[in-house]
Amino acid sequence: MNTVLLGMAILVLGAFLVVRLARLEGRVLSLAAPLAFGATLILLWEVLVVGFAVPMALMPAPSAVAARMAMSSHLLAQDFAQTFLKAVLAGYAIGCGAGFAMALLVDRVPFLRRGLLPIGNLVAALPVVGIAPIMVMWFGFDWQSKAAVVVAMTFFPMLVNTVAGLAAAGSLERDLMRSFAANHRQTLLKLRLPAALPFIFTALKINAPLALIGAIVAEFFGSPTTGMGFRIATEAAKLALDMVWAEIIVAALAGSAFYGLVVLIERAATFWHPSIRS
Amino acid sequence: MRDSAALPVAVVSLGIAALWYLAAIGLNWQVVADMQTRAGATPDFGAMITLTLSHSRPLLPAPHQIIEELWRSTMTLPITSRRSLVHHAWITLSAALVGFGMGSALGVLLAVAIVHVRALERSLMPWIIASQAVPVLALAPIVIVALGALGMTDLLPKAIISAYLCFFPVTIGMVKGLSAPDALSRDLLRTYSATPAQIFWRLRVPTSLPYLFAGLKVAVAAAVVGAIVAELPTGAQAGLGARLLAGSYFGQTIQIWSALFAAAIVSASLVGALSLAERLVVRRMGARA
C-alpha cells in the first residue's frame, strides 16, 4: 500500500516538474525536461521493484544494475572491445566504404543505376540480419563473421542514399560547371559530392545503430565466450538479468555516443545546409 | 517511367544470379574436390561443376536449389506439417502482424499526444529518439524471459518485441505529418470557426496520411525482423527464426537460405500490400498523384 502511495507521489511530482521545466528555453535549459522525465521513470522503477519485492529474474532494480556494472566493469569492457571495437567498427567502415564506392560506380553507368536502385530499395526492407548463421559458417565464430553481417546490413542504405545524393545537385549548378568546361571528376569533387553530403550523412546515421544491432544479434548464432550478444544470451538463460541490463546500458551508451559522434561530424562537414544553419 | 525500369532491373537481376552461380561453384569447389578424392573418383571439369551445384550441404547453395527447396517445403507438404515452411512462416507472420498492430497503434497515439501537449513534446521526444539508440533486438532475451516467467509464451512476447521496433517510425512520421498543415490552411479553418476536433479530423489527419504510410512501411519490415530475432534466444521450436537457428546448428545451408528467402518474401509482400493500401486510401482522400 505504501509503495503504491509513494509511486503515485513520485508520478505526480515528476509530472509537475516536467511540465514546469518544459517551459524553459535555451540550449542547456531545454535539456532539463527530458532529464527530469528520465529521472522520474528510473525513480518509479526503483520504488516499484523494491516495494513489491519483484524477483531479480523478472526485473532488477536500477540500483542492482548499477552495482553489477561497477562489479563487472572488467567483463563489460572486454565484451565492449570484442563486439564494438572489433566487429562494429570494422564492419561499419567496410560496409559504408563499399556502399559509397559502389554508388560512385553505379553513378557512371545510368543503366546500372536504374536496375540496381529498385533492388537496393527492396533489400533495404528485408531482414538482412538473418544472414548471420551463414556468415558464422563462412567466417568462423570470431569477430570477422559479425563484421561481415554488419557489412551486409550497412551496404545498401549507403548505396541507395549516396546514389540519391549524387542526383541532388541542381541543374543550374551543373550547367554552370559545364560552362566552366569542368570534366566529370571536377564536377564530382566540387559540386556533386558536396551536394550529396547530407544524404551520405543520413546513411551514416541510419547505419550507426544498425551496425550495433547486427553485431549483437550475429553473436546469438555462435561466438567465442566473449562479446555483448554472447553475454546477453547466456546471462538471460541463467536469469541473471542484472548483468543483461548492464550490457544493454553499455550498448545504449555506445550506440548513442556513436550516433552523436556522426552528428557532430555532420554539423562540421555540412555547416552550410539549411537544416543546420537555422 | 515504370516501363523504363523493367529492363534494367531484369538485366541486373540476371547478372546477380549469374554471379551467384559463379560464387557457388567457386565456394563449393574445395568441398566437392575433397569428397571426390576421398571416394577415389576423378570427375572431369563438367562433372565437377554439376556436383558443386547439386551438393546437399553446400557452403553456398545455387539459386535453383533454394527455389526447389522452397517449392518442396511450401507446395508439396501439407500446411499443418511441422516441416512445411508455410507453417513456420505463418507463425512468424502472425507474431509480426500482432506486433505491427500494437506498435502502430501506440505510435499513432504517442504522436497525437505529442502534437497536442507541448510538455510531452519537450520531455518525451528526446527519449523516443534515445530509445532507438538502444539496440532493441538485444532486449529480446529479457522480454522473453520476463514474460515467460509471467506465464506468457509463444506469440505475445514476440509480438511485443515487434511492437517496440514498430512504434518509432510511426511516431516520427505521424508527428511530422500532423504538424505538416501550413499556417494558411489552419487560418482558413479558423475563419470557418472550426473546432479543434474538426481541425484535427478534417485537416491534420488527411494531411498526415502520406507520412503515416511511409512510417508504416518501415515499421512492417521492422516487425518481421523483430519476430524472427525474438525466436532466436529462446530456442523456439517453430517459426522462420527457429528454422534459421536449427539450420545453423545442423549445417543445413539450403534450409537456412530457404528460410531467408521465405522471410524476404513475407517482408516484401507486406510492404507491397501497404503500398497498395496507401494508393487506395490517398486516392479516396482526393489526392492528385
Asked if residue A278 has pLDDT above 80, the reply is no
Residue B95 and residue B239 in contact, taking contact as beta carbons nearer than 8 Å: yes
Let me know whether A95 and A163 are in one domain: yes
Q: Is residue A260 located within the same domain as residue A152?
A: yes
Given pLDDT bands bounded at 50, 70 and 90, which one contains residue B228? confident
> CB A20: neighbour CB atoms within 10 A?
13
Domain count, chain B: 2
- The Cα–Cα gap between B262 and B258 comes to 6
Task: Note whether residue B68 is domain-resident.
Answer: no
> How many C-beta neighbours within 10 Å does residue A132 have?
30
- Has residue B285 got a pLDDT over 90? no
In this prediction, residue A131 has a pLDDT band, given cuts at 50, 70 and 90, of: confident
Residue pLDDT, tens place only, A45-74: 888 888 888 777 777 888 888 888 888 888
The rounded distance, in Å, linking the Cα atoms of A107 and A1 is 67
Task: Report which of residues A128 and B139 the model is more confident about.
Answer: A128
Has residue A63 been placed in a domain? no
Question: Is residue B286 scored above 80 in pLDDT?
Answer: no
d(CA B206, CA B282): 9
Residue B287 has pLDDT above 70, yes or no: no
Tell me how close the Cα of B248 comes to any Cα of chain A, in angstroms: 6
Kindly state whether residue B174 falls inside one of the protein's structural domains.
Answer: yes
Copy the grid coordinates of residue A101: 564506392
pLDDT at B101 over 90: yes
Q: How many Å lie between the alpha carbon of A89 and the closest alpha carbon of chain B? A: 15
Residue A62 lies in a domain: no
> Closest approach of chain A CAs to the CA of B283, in angstroms?
24
Residue B130 falls inside a structural domain: yes
Size of interface A-B (CB pairs under 8 A): 172
pLDDT at residue B135, rounded to an integer: 67
Place of cell 518474401: B265
Query: Are A21 and A102 contained in the same domain?
Result: no
Do residues A231 and A263 both lie within one domain?
yes
A172/A270 same-domain check: yes
Residues in CB range of A146: below 8 A, 6 or more apart: A83, A86, A87, A88, A91, A135, A214, A215, A218, A219, A223, A227
Q: A78 and A21, same structural domain?
A: no
Does A79 share its domain with A120? yes
Measured distance CA(A212)–CA(A207) in Å, rounded: 9
Binary contact (A232, B130; C-beta < 8 A): no
Instruction: Tell me what the mean pLDDT of segment B175-184 comes to.
Output: 84
Residues B52 and B194 in one domain: no
DSSP letter at A229?
H
Q: Are residues B131 and B233 in the same domain?
A: yes
Q: How many domains does chain A have?
A: 2
Residues A49 and A113 in one domain: no
- DSSP letters for B74-87: IIIS-TTSTT-HHH
Which has the higher per-residue pLDDT, A151 or A126?
A151
Any chain A CB within 8 A of the CB of B248? yes
CB B232 within 8 A of CB A220: yes
Q: Where are the alpha helices (DSSP H) in chain B?
A: 2-39, 45-52, 63-71, 85-116, 118-133, 140-149, 155-178, 183-191, 196-199, 205-230, 240-250, 253-284
Judgement on whether residues A40 and A81 belong to the same structural domain of the protein = no
B114 shares a domain with B235: yes
Confidence at residue B181, expressed as pLDDT on a 0 to 100 scale: 82
Average pLDDT (A183-202) is: 88
Range of the domain at A208: 70-277
Q: Mapping DSSP to helix (H, G, I), strand (E, B) and coil, where does residue A147 land?
A: helix
CB contact under 8 A, B138 and A217: yes
pLDDT, tens digit (0-9, with 9 covering 90-100), for A8-43: 888 888 878 777 777 777 667 777 777 888 888 888
C-alpha distances (whole Å) from A53 to each of A45, A57, A60, B147 are 12, 11, 10, 17
Quote the percentage of chain B above a pLDDT of 70.
94
pLDDT in tens, B17-72: 888 888 888 888 888 888 888 887 777 788 888 887 877 778 888 888 888 888 88
Q: Which of A209, A221, A244 sits opposite B142 (nearest CB)?
A: A244
Report if residue B74 sits inside a domain: no
Q: Are B234 and B104 part of one and the same domain?
A: yes
Name the band, by pLDDT with cuts 50, 70 and 90, for residue B1: very low
Contacts of residue B199, Cβ cutoff 8 Å, sequence gap at least 6: B186, B189, B190
pLDDT-derived band of residue A180, with 50, 70 and 90 as boundaries?
very high
| B118, closest residue in chain A (CA to CA) | A22
| Residue B178 sits at the chain A interface (C-beta within 8 Å) | no
Grid cell digits, residue A241: 538479468
Q: Is the pLDDT of residue B5 over 70?
A: yes
Cβ contacts of B16 on chain A, cutoff 8 Å: 119
Residue B241 in domain: yes
Nearest-by-CA chain B residue for A250: B134
Q: Does A244 lie in the same domain as A113?
A: yes
Asked if pLDDT for residue B116 goes beyond 90, the answer is no
> Does A99 share its domain with A20?
no
Q: How many CB atoms lie within 10 A of CB B76?
A: 9
Same domain flag for B241 and B169: yes
CA distance linking residue B70 with residue B13, whole number of Å? 19
Residue A10, all three cell numbers: 513520485
- Residues of the domain holding B154: 85-284
- Tens digit of pLDDT for each residue in A133-175? 888 888 888 889 999 999 998 998 899 889 888 888 888 888 9
Closest residue in A to B121 (Cα–Cα): A22
Same-domain check for residues B115 and B169: yes
Query: Do B38 and B179 fall into the same domain?
Result: no
Vertex A154, ends A148 and A158: CA angle to 5°?
Answer: 140
Task: Give the pLDDT mean for A83-108.
Answer: 92
Indicate whether B110 belongs to any domain.
yes
CA distance A222 to A217: 10
Task: Give the model's pLDDT for residue B289.
Answer: 47
Choose among A130, A131, A220: nearest Cβ to B233.
A220
User: Are residue A19 and residue A156 in the same domain, yes or no?
Assistant: no
| A238 assigned to some structural domain | yes
Average pLDDT of the residues in B153-182? 84
**Span of A63-72, A224-233, B227-236 with lowest mean pLDDT:** B227-236
Half-sphere exposure for B99 (CA within 13 Å, toward CB): 31
